[in-house]
Amino acid sequence: MNASLLLRSSAVSLLLLVVMLFVWHATTLPETASTEGMSDEYAALMGMAGGGAAKAGLPGPADVGATIWEKLSDPFYDNGPNDKGIGIQLGYSLARVLSGFFLAALVAIPLGFVVGMSPVMRGALDPFIQVLKPISPLAWMPLALYIIKDSSVSAVFVIFICSLWPMLINTAHGVASVKRDWLNVAQTLEVGALRKAFLVILPAAAPTILTGMRISMGIAWLVIVAAEMLVGGTGIGYFVWNEWNNLSLNNVIFAILTIGVVGMALDLMFGWVQRLVAYRE
Amino acid sequence: MDNAFLKIEALAKVFPPARGGQPLTVFENIHFSIDKGEFVCIIGHSGCGKSTILNVLAGLDQASSGTVIMDEREVSGPSLDRGVVFQSHALMPWLSVMKNIEFAVKSRWPDWSRDKVRAHCQKYIDLVHLTGAEHKKPAELSGGMKQRVGIARAFSIQPKMLLMDEPFGALDALTRGVIQDELLNICAETHQTVFMITHDVDEAILLADKIVLMTNGPLAKIAEIVVNTLPRDRSRHDVHKHPHYYRIRNHLVDFLVSRSKDFASNTPAGYDPLHPPFTRPGLEPDADCPPDVDARVRHLRQPAMPAAA
Q: Are residues A140 and A219 in the same domain?
A: yes
CA–CA gap between residue B217 and residue B27 (Å, rounded) = 7
* Chain pair A-B, CB pairs under 8 angstroms: 59
> Among B96-100, B265-269, B298-302, where is mean pLDDT lowest?
B298-302
Q: Does A182 touch chain B (CB under 8 A)?
A: yes
Cβ pair B93:A187 closer than 8 A:
no
φ, ψ of residue B33 to 5 degrees: the values are: -140, 160
Distances from the Cα of B242 to the Cαs of A199, B212, B228, B229, in angstroms?
A: 49, 21, 12, 10
Task: Please determine, for residue B297, whether its predicted confidence score (pLDDT) is greater than 50.
Answer: no
Q: Are residues A37 and A82 in the same domain?
A: no
* Strand B39-43, strand B193-197: pairing: parallel
CA–CA gap between residue B43 and residue B204 (Å, rounded) = 8
Going by C-alpha positions, the residue among A187, A191, A207 that lies closest to residue A199 is: A191
Per-residue DSSP letter, A50: T
Q: Are residues A66 and A107 in the same domain?
A: yes
CA–CA gap between residue B118 and residue B123 (Å, rounded) = 9
Domain end, chosen from A12, A37, A57, is at A57
Q: What is the mean pLDDT of chain B?
A: 87
* pLDDT tens per residue across span B191-222: 999 999 998 999 999 999 999 999 987 888 89
Number of C-beta neighbours around residue A211 at 10 A: 18
Cβ pair B90:A189 closer than 8 A:
no
| Residue range(s) defining the domain that contains residue A32 | 1-57
Distance from CA of B212 to the nearest CA of A (A): 24
Q: Does B94 touch chain A (CB under 8 A)?
A: yes
Q: Which residues have CB under 8 Å from B148's CB, separation 6+?
A: B128, B129, B130, B179, B182
Split at pLDDT 50, 70, 90, the class of B260 is confident
Question: Given B79, B88, B93, which is nearest A279 (Cβ)?
Answer: B93
Q: Does B79 touch chain A (CB under 8 A)?
A: yes
Question: Given B93, B103, B108, which is nearest A199 (Cβ)?
Answer: B103
| CATH number of domain containing A181 | 1.10.3720.10
Q: Are residues A163 and A239 in the same domain?
A: yes
* pLDDT tens per residue across span B152-165: 999 999 999 999 99
pLDDT at B263: 85
Question: Given B78, B108, B157, which is nearest A187 (Cβ)?
Answer: B78
Cβ pair A188:B94 closer than 8 A:
no
Task: Please determine, for residue B173, whether its predicted confidence score (pLDDT) is greater than 80.
Answer: yes
Q: Does B92 touch chain A (CB under 8 A)?
A: yes
**What mean pLDDT comes out for the span B122-137?**
93
pLDDT at B301: 43
Q: Does A31 touch chain B (CB under 8 A)?
A: no
Q: Are residues A249 and A201 in the same domain?
A: yes
Split at pLDDT 50, 70, 90, the class of B276 is confident
pLDDT at A144: 94
Distance from CA of B160 to the nearest CA of A (A): 13
* pLDDT tens per residue across span A93-134: 999 999 999 999 999 999 999 999 999 999 999 999 999 999
> Among B147-161, B272-286, B289-303, where is mean pLDDT lowest?
B289-303
Intervals of chain A under pLDDT 70: 1, 31-38, 43-44, 46-56
Split at pLDDT 50, 70, 90, the class of B309 is very low
> Cα dihedral angle (B39, B45, B46, B50), rounded to 10 degrees?
-30
Q: Does B293 touch chain A (CB under 8 A)?
A: no
Q: For chain A, where are the alpha helices, taking DSSP H only?
A: 3-27, 40-45, 61-73, 86-117, 119-132, 141-148, 151-176, 180-188, 193-196, 202-231, 236-245, 249-277
Q: Are residues A30 and A119 in the same domain?
A: no
Q: Does B107 touch chain A (CB under 8 A)?
A: yes
Going by C-alpha positions, the residue among B24, B128, B146 that lies closest to residue B92 is: B146
Q: Are residues A116 and A103 in the same domain?
A: yes
- A139 exposure class (CB count in 10 Å sphere: 0-12, 13-18, 19+): exposed
pLDDT at A49: 54
Question: Given B88, B137, B157, which is nearest A181 (Cβ)?
Answer: B88
Give chain B positions within 8 Å (CB) of A195.
107
Give chain B positions within 8 Å (CB) of A275.
none
Q: Are residues A205 and A164 in the same domain?
A: yes
Taking CA–CA distances from B61, the nearest residue in chain A reads: A184
Q: Which residue has the higher pLDDT, B309 or B168?
A: B168
Distance from CA of A190 to the nearest CA of B (A): 6
**What mean pLDDT comes out for the span B143-149?**
92
Q: Are residues A137 and A124 in the same domain?
A: yes
Give chain B positions within 8 Å (CB) of A281.
93, 138-139
Give chain B positions within 8 Å (CB) of A196.
none
Domain end, chosen from A57, A76, A91, is at A57
Q: Are residues A75 and A181 in the same domain?
A: yes
Per-residue DSSP letter, A84: B
Going by C-alpha positions, the residue among B249, B243, B236, B235 that lies closest to residue B292 is: B243
pLDDT at B103: 96
Give chain B positions within 8 Å (CB) of A274.
none
Q: Which residues of B147-173 are buried (b: 16+ CB within 10 A; e: fewer)?
A: bbbbbbbbbbbbbbbbbbbbbbeebee
**What mean pLDDT comes out for the span B145-151?**
93
Going by C-alpha positions, the residue among B59, B135, B132 that lies closest to residue B101 is: B135
Give chain A positions within 8 Å (CB) of B78.
187-190
Domain architecture of chain B: domains with CATH: 6-81+199-300 (3.40.50)
Split at pLDDT 50, 70, 90, the class of B178 is confident
Distance from CA of B156 to the nearest CA of A (A): 11
Share of chain B above pLDDT 70, in %: 92
Domain end, chosen from A16, A33, A57, is at A57
Domain count, chain A: 2
Q: Which residues have CB under 8 Å from B5's CB, separation 6+?
A: B33, B34, B35, B36, B38, B70, B71, B160, B161, B193
* pLDDT tens per residue across span B48-106: 889 999 999 999 999 999 999 999 889 888 999 999 999 888 999 999 999 999 999 99
* Strand B210-214, strand B222-227: pairing: antiparallel
Which phi-psi region, left, alpha or beta, contains residue A111 (left: φ > 0; alpha: ψ -120 to 50)?
alpha
Q: Does B82 touch chain A (CB under 8 A)?
A: yes
Give chain B positions within 8 Å (CB) of A190.
78-80, 107
Q: Does A281 touch chain B (CB under 8 A)?
A: yes
CA–chain centroid gap for B237, Å, is: 21
Q: Are residues A49 and A120 in the same domain?
A: no
Give chain B positions within 8 Å (CB) of A183.
none
Q: Are residues A167 and A36 in the same domain?
A: no
φ, ψ of residue B151 to 5 degrees: the values are: -70, -45
Distances from the Cα of A192 to the Cαs of B8, B24, B57, B101, B108, in angstroms?
A: 28, 34, 20, 17, 12
